[in-house]
Amino acid sequence: MENKTSCRDHPHHATITFKIDIRKINSDGSLDHMPMGNKLLRKYGISNKAQLLVSGVDEADCVRKIKERLGRLND
């Protein structure tokens, strides 16, 4: 009988995609209706999209690493 390995035990990979919207804050506290365009963002070396790539030795490791990376974004 073959030894069946659980899918959870295999290496896992996650791609997390972000949309970056940078807007001017108006004097009344509201946000401008137009976000910065890619041309202006390129001046700062970024674009309006970003990705985080995370791999783990198994499902739990991948999820743990995702939680760590996302937690660091809030620091």
Q: What is the pLDDT of residue 1?
A: 45
Q: Cα–Cα distances in Å, from 36 out to 21, 25, 33, 49, 57?
A: 7, 12, 10, 12, 39
Ordered mean pLDDT values, 10 residues apiece, the chain (75 residues): 75 97 97 95 96 97 96 85
Q: What is the pLDDT of residue 74?
A: 80
Q: Taking the complete model, does pTM exceed 0.75, yes or no?
A: no
Nearest CA to 64 out of 14, 17, 18, 19 is that of: 14
